[in-house]
Structure 1
Amino acid sequence: MNTRERGAKNRQQIIDFLLTHTYTTIDVLCGVLKVKSKPMISRHLSKLVDEKLIKRERFKTLGGSIIMFGTTQKLIELYDSDRIPFRPSKISHRTLEHTLYCQKLSAHYQHGKIFQQYKMEIVNAETGSLKKFGLAHRPDLILKPAAHAYICIECELSLKSKPRYEKIINDYCQLIDAKKILQCEYFFSDTRLADRFKRILENHFKKHTRYKSHAEKIKVRIFK
């Protein structure tokens, strides 16, 4: 692959990622392209901004500010996407950290051998209708293999209440029974939270013995 072809591929990867996630940061895109060169990514982003395919916004955070790049209506129409273009006013301080964590995990999955082997597609499930997936509970990401049941991804930066988890886990077990999903994977950046969640799972399957065979399909992983 020559320099021009590599540049075109990198540009398209940036566009595809933004079409999936609406907005992101340069740090996340480094993971998407598997590069450490922020200037290279900045050049691609600057060109896309000049073409009015994306827009650049500075978002104030509690610790300062962060620069984000998001889709425009022009890009949405060009690719006939059903997603809503980037609206900075809709970004919440409360959920931004979680959203960027999900994006980094999404970028990580894209480079996995299994992801490429099964020709998976990543669906950002934070927004949009879930009717076509047959899901009652909204996961953070959905891995959609070409010819298999879905894999639901949950990104947990904090723990929900035990009653809330009881309903969610039972919903996932019913979907596994119905063969609508293959498994569910819970990701934590904090090992202590992951250990506490494992105990919640153990107690859950002791209480709901009819789903005990599904315990191995509710996986707990660490991603930092």
Structure 2
Amino acid sequence: MIPYSKNNKARHAQKKQSLLNFLKEETYSDLQTLMSILKIKNRCTMSRFLPSMIEQGLLQKYAFPLPGNKSISIWGITREGLVYAQALDDPLEYKHFQPSKIRLSSLHHHLENQKVKLRLESLGCTGWLNGDKKQLGAKFPLKHRPDGYIKLTNNMPIVIETELFIKSKLRYKEIILHHLLARNKKQWYYVLYVMPDLNKKAALQRIFNSVDHVIYQGRKLDLDNDHRNIFKIHTLEEVQTLKLTEIFGAATR
């Protein structure tokens, strides 16, 4: 029988590798998400695990100030952590955590997008590509960059639009056209809009319902319900609780 200490070290090494594999793609994350990655429910366990990785030079912790004298703690991968995590066939574009280059609005968007990614993966979706990385642009010539790309359990590709703020109707008409053209090329088939709350979900749904046409190469193209059905609009809470069939219907069967 392998002694307990060796078992413990092996589990620790595995968790460390899992965390770094996630962060080499995502650069940084918050405590709740990292606990989800490692399937750790006890904060005390994480409070021992993360400092050990900081001492090894693999992670950096930073507290971002929030309005009202509050802050949010973020853990990001260091240069040394990237060296530890990268495989020989990994792209060279991975970047280490640099807090000074991160804006508060992009921070929140980044963390929301991670939650969507992890939820869809937990439902069996695969092949995630982050819209912030070059892999998605290399796969498709993009005029509009979605926040993520993933394949459903039946291998059907979809893209994610994680929205924190409502854009103008004119901008959404441009984005709708881009997604319809991508679908026509079979690059992806559905677009999942993830909204922070029910009010913004309802506001976006009203905008989409009011878009009756788009302009392509100077021509007016009318939209119908079949076009609108390509766009699935849900709150983050709904995405975290609904099944794939409840979001995409028969398309996932």
- TM-score range normalised by the length of the shorter chain: 0.7 to 0.9
Partner Cα separation in structure 1 for residue 189 and residue 45 of structure 2? 38
The amino acid of 2:109's aligned partner reads: H
Structure 1 position 87, deviation (Å) = 0.6
Match of 1:214 in 2: 227
Matched, 1:105 2:116: yes
Percent identity of equivalent pairs: 27
Q: 1:189 to 1:210 in 2, by over 3 A?
A: closer
- The counterpart of 2:57, out of the listed 49, 52, 55, is 52
Q: Output one character per residue of 1:143-172: Cα deviation in whole Å (capped at 9) or x when no partner.
A: 156994532101112200101100011100
TM-score (norm 2): 0.76
> Would you say how many aligned residue pairs link Structure 1 and Structure 2?
218
Matched, 1:154 2:165: no
Partner Cα separation in structure 2 for residue 70 and residue 9 of structure 1? 18
Q: 1:48 to 1:121 in 2, by over 3 A?
A: farther
Partner Cα separation in structure 1 for residue 38 and residue 83 of structure 2? 24
Structure 1 position 178, deviation (Å) = 0.4
The amino acid of 1:52's aligned partner reads: G
Identify the range of structure 1 (65-74 vs 200-209) with the bigger mean alpha-carbon deviation. 200-209
Whether contact under 8 Å (1:26, 1:42) holds in the other structure is no
Match of 1:198 in 2: 205
Q: 1:214 to 1:103 in 2, by over 3 A?
A: same
- The counterpart of 1:66, out of the listed 72, 90, 94, is 72
Residue 185 of structure 1 aligns to a residue whose secondary structure is strand
Q: Output one character per residue of 1:96-131: Cα deviation in whole Å (capped at 9) or x when no partner.
A: 22222112222222211x32xxxx122221243613
Partner Cα separation in structure 1 for residue 44 and residue 31 of structure 2? 9
TM-score (norm 1): 0.84
Q: Output one character per residue of 1:12-63: Cα deviation in whole Å (capped at 9) or x when no partner.
A: 3322221121011112223333442122223332222122122122222223
Where do 1:115-130 residues align within 5 Å? 115=125, 120-128=126-134, 130=137
Partner Cα separation in structure 1 for residue 21 and residue 52 of structure 2? 16
Match of 1:76 in 2: 82
- The counterpart of 1:94, out of the listed 105, 119, 138, is 105
Whether contact under 8 Å (2:20, 2:82) holds in the other structure is no
Unaligned runs of at least 5 residues, structure 1: none
Whether contact under 8 Å (1:149, 1:180) holds in the other structure is no
The amino acid of 1:95's aligned partner reads: S
Q: 1:99 to 1:65 in 2, by over 3 A?
A: same
Partner Cα separation in structure 1 for residue 213 and residue 206 of structure 2? 11
Structure 1 position 92, deviation (Å) = 0.5
Q: 1:211 to 1:132 in 2, by over 3 A?
A: farther
Partner Cα separation in structure 1 for residue 231 and residue 46 of structure 2? 36
Unaligned runs of at least 5 residues, structure 2: 215-220, 238-253
Matched, 1:168 2:169: no
